[in-house]
Amino acid sequence: MNLRESFDVPAPAIILAEGEFGRTGGKTSNGVVMHSEVFDARAVVDSTTAGKSPADVLRRPDAPEIPIVESVTDALETAPEAEALVIGVAPAGGELPEAWISGIEDAVRAGCDVVSGLHTFLGDEDHWSELAAAHDARIFDVRKPPEEDALRVGDGSVDEADADVVLTLGTDCAVGKRTTTFELYQAAQAAGLDAGWVATGQTGIMVGAQAGVVIDRVPADFTAGVVEDLVKSVAADHDLVFVEGQASLTHRAYSGVTLSILHGSWPDIVVLADEPERTQRTHFEQFLVDGVESETDLIEELSDAEVAAISTWGDPEVERERYDLPVANVYEEDGPADLLVAVRETLGASAPSSTAGGSE
């Protein structure tokens, strides 16, 4: 899915983040507000943080100065120019909460398209499809997998792609893989490189990847093939392709999808995202995080890729002393540019000197 093709970007939008803005459960909303190249967020709906500023809620001083309001009704009054309502929270159980229905209906009646990250596909329900048709609105269910006739097993055809491929993997879930991928993509564009990127989750699709799929909705046998097709499609138009990874190879619950992305994208290099203080896996406290060394060994054993750098949440200076790799924090001002230097040097491209470890 490429939402860029369906909107006059950036389209003014309302972001529904009820109960989760600034939290892990609202990571899609958080990402769309901070990074989307498809949607220009004009208001956020979250009754639990209404009246606060996104900078305070997200703890990001560079967050846009837009209102956080109590309801979709308030958002429509605040931003009557909105063209889309982005549902950026996936509630437990995946169903649409009853309390949200009237607000979403109001948005559709106001002519807003609905871009949904819910596990439930609104476009498949008569109520929503008929309401949208009656008000000249559209419904985009970004979690919907490709049609069956578009599914295939991986065949290695990605090897023929005429572009450098950089995959972001991680030591656990929720360690910043999507953010790292996007920040690298933006740094590459700022450096004048012909770069595109591939999303493998709903946030990346809403942020504006040139191609994407919610990979955990694809049948297991076909995940590598779907990723191959996404990478090839972006590589056809760009010299450098960044690919968002999911989970980690050492994660007992989710390693299958991680390996499929690694084999489907068959990257030239990998950037590894890590939260150095994390010892137990997110939502799986019974499992310990294996760490950078174990993840690196597996990546390089299971592919032809080289781990080129670490994207850390910690202090890069401290982390450089632990690993014989360049390290940067993409949340710091020069972090994305420093990480890009390591990527380019590993790819063999010329790059200016940087403070990133190993890039002198």
Residue 358 pLDDT = 40
Please report the domains of the chain, with CATH numbers, ordered by start residue. 3-141 (3.40.50.720), 150-347 (3.40.50.300)
Residue 359 pLDDT = 38
CA 296-302-306 angle, 5° bins: 50
pLDDT for 69-102, tens place per residue? 999 999 999 999 999 999 999 886 678 899 999 9
Contacts of 262 (CB under 8 A, 6+ apart): 167, 169, 245, 249, 270, 299, 302, 303, 305
Q: What is the mean pLDDT of residues 327-343?
A: 94
Residue 178 contacts residue 167 (beta carbons within 8 Å): no
Does the pLDDT at position 347 exceed 60?
yes
Residue 299 pLDDT = 97
Residue 357 pLDDT = 42
Q: What is the mean pLDDT of residues 323-336?
A: 93
Share of the chain above pLDDT 90, in %: 85
pLDDT for 196-251, tens place per residue? 999 999 999 999 999 999 999 999 999 999 999 999 999 999 999 999 999 999 99
Residue 353 pLDDT = 39
Does the pLDDT at position 352 exceed 70?
no
Lowest mean pLDDT among 75-84, 330-339, 345-354: 345-354
pLDDT for 8-55, tens place per residue? 999 999 999 999 999 888 889 999 999 999 999 999 999 999 999 999
Q: Which two tokens stand for residue 279?
A: 């010892």
Residue 102 contacts residue 85 (beta carbons within 8 Å): no
Q: What is the mean pLDDT of residues 160-178?
A: 95
Does the pLDDT at position 300 exceed 90?
yes
Does the pLDDT at position 351 exceed 50?
no
Does the pLDDT at position 355 exceed 50?
no
pLDDT for 240-293, tens place per residue? 999 999 999 999 999 999 999 999 999 999 999 999 999 999 889 999 999 999
Burial of 353 (0-12, 13-18, 19+ CB in 10 A): exposed
Does the pLDDT at position 356 exceed 50?
no
Which of 213, 212, 176, 210 minimizes the C-alpha distance to 194? 210
Does the pLDDT at position 354 exceed 70?
no
| 342 vs 357, residue with greater confidence | 342
